Structures are given as structure tokens and as C-alpha cells.
Amino acid sequence: MSAPEPPPVGVDRSAVFTALTGRTGANPSHEGTIRGMLLAAYGQRPDGNPDTTEAARRLHVTPRTVRRWLANERAQKPAPKSTNVDRLRTSARRSESTKRGRTSALRRRRDQIQAAQAAPARPGAAAPAPPVKAISLTGVQGPHGAGQDDYKRNRTIRLTMTPDDTDAMYAAYEQGGHQGFTTWARGRADRYVDGWEFDNIDDLRVE
């Protein structure tokens, strides 16, 4: 008889998306701010602000129009036209909910990681630290089985990462979204403590 499927894990999907893409402040949900949705859908510039040029190109408006949306939001002035907001919401949601969107959103971060992993060590120098040293997962979690459910509580665990772990984590998220990530996280946490399970994941931090 096969083992029963583990119960579903509640996941803050925006937190996972933000941590894995490196797009600080991004929010792919329909309740996101204009700034958060722009970051989720179209990425960010090196200074951390939304890529207004790419947003304008994809939304068929001018960069100046996108900058005005952001300025109006900061000043609590009226939002853009509803048709533009609807298109932005759709693009932001797809960046997290579709494989194509996740592949695009992850590309820059995965390229950075792969370049860092491939960089040769300087002669005589210590091996460079991995680009992802660890991740921290916050939520209700703990060991399961053999009467250990009472040990589940809201806590944060820190898991060290190898390059293979990092590649597997990003591949799982790209292919399967938040569900793919939680399946990977269960397997990785099982190496932390045998039988470790999550009831929910409220936050993810990548070091």
C-alpha cells in the first residue's frame, strides 16, 4: 500500500515569488499595489525600482505614463484607467501562476547564480562561497509521526544549501510553482529532521 499523500501546505505565494526572483517588493496577487504588480510582471532596474521601460513596452503606453502611475500612487491620487490596471493585474498574476511567467521572472536571478557558480577561484584563494548559502522558512512546522504532532508550532528554520540544492529548488518552483516548491521544501527539510512537515509557509528568505 502506498503512503498517504501529505496534507496541502498553506503558502504565502507572494513571499516565495519575491524571495526566489529577488524582486523586492513584488506582489503578483490581484490585491498588489501598482508598484508591486509592476515589479512582479516586468522586473526591476538595478536600483530596485520597477522597469518602467519594459512595462511601457508591454502595456503599450509610454514610460512617462508608467512613471506617472507610480507618482500618483505615492501621492494617493487616482489610479490608472481600469483597462490598464486589469492588464497589469493579469500580467502580474501570470508571472507567478504560469510556467512561462515563472521562467521569465526567474531568468535574471538564475543567470546570476549560474555565473557565480561557474566563476573560477583565484589561484591560492579559498573557494568562493556558494551564491545561495541558506534559506530560512517561517511558518507552522515541526516533526510529524510517532506522536510528535505536538511539536509543530510557528517557527523559523534555517537550511544550508549546496549548489545542487539551489538548482533543484529553482527547478521545482519553475516547473510546479508554489506546490512544486513546497514538495521540494518537504524533501529538503526531511534532511533537517526526519519527518519534518509544514502546515504553512508564511515567509521565505534566501541568503
Residue-wise pLDDT for 98-132, tens only, equals 999 999 999 999 998 988 888 766 676 665 556 89
pTM of the predicted protein model: 0.88
Distances in Å between the alpha carbon of 12 and those of 29, 73, 109, 117? Answer: 10, 24, 20, 29
Q: Do 71 and 55 touch, CB atoms closer than 8 A?
A: no
Q: Quick check: helix, strand or coil at residue 129?
A: coil
The pLDDT value recorded for residue 144 is 80
pLDDT at 30: 79
pLDDT of residue 86: 94
With cut-offs at 50, 70 and 90, classify the pLDDT of residue 181: very high
Alpha helix (H) ranges present in the chain?
Answer: 13-21, 34-42, 52-59, 63-74, 82-97, 99-118, 163-190
* Residue 79 confidence class, pLDDT cut points 50, 70, 90: confident
Strand partners, 154: 140
Residue 149 clears pLDDT 70, i.e. is over it? no
Looking at every residue in the chain, the average pLDDT score rounds to 90
